[in-house]
Chain A
Amino acid sequence: MLRVAVRFFARYREATGRQRLEVDLPDGGTVEAAWAAVVDRHPELGRYRPFTLFAIGNDYVGPDHALRPGDELCLFPPVSGGSASRSRTARRASRSDRARSAG
Chain B
Amino acid sequence: MDGDIYKIVEQPLSPDAVAASVGDPAAGGVVIFSGIVRNEKDGRPVKYLEYEAHAAMAEAKMREIGAAVRQRWPSVKAVTMLHRIGRLEIGESSVLIAVSAAHRREAFEACQYAIDTLKQRVPVWKKEHFEDGEVWVGLQGG
Kindly list 8 other residue pairs between chains A and B, CB separation below 8 angstroms, not including A9-B52, A78-B139, A86-B139: A9-B125, A11-B125, A48-B142, A55-B123, A74-B123, A79-B138, A80-B124, A82-B120
Bound form: Cα–Cα A4–B60 in Å: 22
A interface with B by C-beta (< 8 Å): 7, 9-11, 14, 48, 51, 53, 55, 57-60, 74, 76-82, 86, 89, 92-93
Bound form: Cα–Cα A9–B139 in Å: 13
Contact A92 B120, CB 8 Å, known A58-B57, A74-B54: yes
Chain B nearest CB from A14 CB (Å) reads: 8
B72 contacts chain A at the CB level, 8 A cutoff: no
What A residues does B60 contact at CB under 8 A? 58
Q: Digit string of B114-142 for contact with A (CB within 8 Å is 1, else 0)? A: 00001111111111000000001111001
Q: Digit string of B8-51 for contact with A (CB within 8 Å is 1, else 0)? A: 00000000000000000000000000000000000000000001
Chain B nearest CB from A43 CB (Å) reads: 14
The answer, among A7, A10, A48, A80, for a CB contact under 8 Å with B119, is A80
Instruction: Tell me how many residues of B have a C-beta within 8 Å of chain A.
Output: 22
B61 contacts chain A at the CB level, 8 A cutoff: yes
Could you write out 7 A-B pairs with CB less than 8 Å apart? A9-B52, A10-B125, A48-B139, A77-B138, A78-B138, A80-B125, A82-B138
Chain B residue with minimal CB distance to A86? B138
What A residues does B51 contact at CB under 8 A? 80
Cβ contact within 8 Å between A79 and B125: yes
